[in-house]
Amino acid sequence: MFVEMWFWINSTPATGEQKTAAHLEVFKTTASVAVMLGGIGALYLAARRQRTQEAEHAHAVRIAEINRQHAERVAAATEDDAARRRVTELYTKAADQLGSDKAPVRLAGLYALERLGQDNSDQRRTIASLWCAYLRMPYTPPPPTVGRRPGGVARPLLSNPRRRTGILRPDPATLTSPNPAAAHAEAVLERDVRLTVQRLLGMHLRPRTDNNDQPHHDYWPEIPDLDLTGATLINLDLSSCALPAIRMDRATFIGRTTFGGATFTGRATFYGATFNHQVQFAHATFNGAAMFYGATFIGRATFVGATFDARTQFDGATFNANARFEDATFNAIGTFVRATFTEAARFNRVTFAGVASFDMAAFAAIATFNRTAFNDRVTFDDAAFAANTSFVHATFNRVTFDDAAFAANTLFVHATFKDHARFDSAVFDSTARCRNARVSVGGVTSQAMWPVGWTCVIPEPLNSEDVQWGQLVPVPMVLDQHVVSDMKTDGF
């Protein structure tokens, strides 16, 4: 372009001075353009160099961050591995201590496990399982007292040769036999260890709050279940605890046992368990199935105010002392089939929301079901009542007493029969008293079979808009028109 303009100026008719001036201007313009293009190129190179440096720096920063994170992960993994190894070592050592033949060492192992669980929530399930396994180990409690070991002579007598006459040498067999006093002392120490295990379980299963109204750090909700099958438990106190699924089948409970106010959040089984002293389940709540099949209650059994939300079985259970179920609630099926009550059985104000069965149950002493509500079907077929029995103010929906035997006074005074009622082949050795018992007209009367000597009298006329009630009266009184008239006056 510069050359073309140069030759174009030379081809013009201008004077020499004009051409020289024009050539100079062309040269200046071209130089300016060249300088401008050089600047632009320099700027481009500088910008490109800047971008390259920034990209390299960003890459270096990114690599450094990746290296740092990797180093942190490696350090954390190393620390975690070390912590896990430390926990494993502590657990193994504490578990070994539990196997010691010395009670103080076993106690140290228990408290070491407890501290380990406090600091490591993921270990609590394993620790609780180990404690339960310890309680499942065979154990014979010490007797209340130990007599003085027979035989033997005081040392001063042996020091005088003249006094050795007539002294028999000890039987070698007795030298190898265990020392009763030492065995008793060991049993007492083992009892202390077991009591400590039970206390630790109770402490960590009992929900409570701290001073800031937050869950207390002693509570271990991570324990999913407890297996105490066949365990020997002494003065067990799990009152107000939140108990997970628990198995106490064939367990032996020695001394007072307390579950008062406890909440069983899972299935609770006591198949074949033996309670050697009084047991307390007052106001306990069973959210899952409660199974006491074949359990033996030697002392007083108290279930006052207890709530059973799922299927409940006391089939084959034996109550050798008073059995108290006052104010209990059975929200599902509740059965006492073949249960044996040696002393008083009190079911006053109990609510059976589901099917209930006392078939073939044996009541050797007084049995009371006063103000009890059977809201579904209930059966007492082949049940045996050997003493006074009371269903005063009880409410029955559908009930059968087929082949039941009542050996003493039986009261159905003020009872209410809403639906099917039957006493087929029931035997009353004494007079059944059903005065003021109410019967729903149309629900019961068509298929009812009342105790011998009683019948239902229906008032006239019936009001179809309202529920009508008949009344149970002694058969001889049916012919007495005054009784019928009195019933009408009373609103029956």
Render pLDDT for 164-187 as a digit per residue (tens, 0 to 9).
444 444 454 554 456 777 778 888
Positive or negative, the Cα torsion across 435, 441, 445, 448? negative
pLDDT of amino acid 31: 73
Q: Is the pLDDT of residue 14 over 60?
A: yes
pLDDT of amino acid 63: 86
- Find the mean pLDDT for residues 389-399: 94
Give CA–CA dist 141/68, Å, rounded. Answer: 61
- Report for 207-211, 260-264, 441-445, 449-453: range of highest mean pLDDT: 260-264
Q: DSSP code of 430?
A: S
Q: Is the pLDDT of residue 273 over 60?
A: yes
More confident residue, 150 or 344: 344
Q: Is the pLDDT of residue 492 over 70?
A: no
C-alpha separations of 268 from 136, 153, 237 in Å? 17, 55, 16
The amino acid that residue 246 corresponds to is I
Q: How confident is the model at residue 490 (pLDDT cuts 50, 70, 90)?
A: very low
pLDDT tens digits for 19-71? 677 667 766 777 777 778 778 878 888 888 888 888 888 888 888 888 888 77
pLDDT tens digits for 311-360? 999 999 999 999 999 999 999 999 999 999 999 999 999 999 999 999 99
Neighbouring C-alpha atoms within 13 Å toward the C-beta of 219: 14
**E strand or H helix at 91, and its extent?**
helix 16-98
Give CA–CA dist 363/388, Å, rounded. Answer: 10
Sequential DSSP letters for 310-365: S-EE-TT-EESS-EE-TT-EE-S-EE-TT-EESS-EE-TT-EE-S-EE-TT-EE-S
The alpha carbon of 286 is separated from its chain's Cα centroid by a whole number of angstroms, namely 8
- Find the mean pLDDT for residues 125-142: 91
pLDDT tens digits for 395-439? 999 999 999 999 999 999 999 998 888 888 889 887 788 888 888
For 161, phi then psi, to 5°, come to -60, -30
pLDDT of amino acid 30: 75
pLDDT of amino acid 73: 79
Among 45-59, 77-91, 163-177, 222-236, whose mean pLDDT is lowest?
163-177
Helix (H, G, I), strand (E, B) or coil at 35: helix
CA angle, residues 80, 81, 86, in degrees to nearest 5:
95
pLDDT of amino acid 352: 97
More confident residue, 13 or 159: 13
Q: What angle separates helix 103-119 from helix 124-136, to the nearest 10 degrees?
A: 160
pLDDT of amino acid 53: 84
User: Are 332 and 352 a contacting pair, CB within 8 Å?
Assistant: no
pLDDT of amino acid 488: 42
Percent of the chain with pLDDT over 70: 77
For 260, phi then psi, to 5°, come to -55, 130
pLDDT of amino acid 451: 76
Q: Is the pLDDT of residue 443 over 60?
A: no
Q: Is the pLDDT of residue 285 over 90?
A: yes
pLDDT of amino acid 67: 82
User: Are 365 and 341 a contacting pair, CB within 8 Å?
Assistant: yes
- Find the mean pLDDT for residues 286-308: 97
- Find the mean pLDDT for residues 429-456: 72
Percent of the chain with pLDDT over 90: 46
C-alpha separations of 401 from 383, 427, 447 in Å? 8, 10, 14
* Residue pointed to by tokens 């107000």: 240
Summary mean pLDDT of the chain: 82
pLDDT of amino acid 17: 67
Give CA–CA dist 185/195, Å, rounded. Answer: 15
pLDDT of amino acid 375: 95
Q: Is the pLDDT of residue 150 over 50?
A: no
pLDDT of amino acid 282: 96
Cis bond upstream, residue 224 (ω within 30): no
Among 18-27, 120-129, 361-370, 480-489, whose mean pLDDT is lowest?
480-489
pLDDT of amino acid 55: 83
The alpha carbon of 473 is separated from its chain's Cα centroid by a whole number of angstroms, namely 49
Give CA–CA dist 322/270, Å, rounded. Answer: 19
The amino acid that residue 403 corresponds to is D
pLDDT of amino acid 343: 96
User: Are 444 and 417 a contacting pair, CB within 8 Å?
Assistant: yes
Q: Is the pLDDT of residue 155 over 50?
A: no
pLDDT of amino acid 462: 55
Give CA–CA dist 471/444, Å, rounded. Answer: 11
More confident residue, 407 or 446: 407
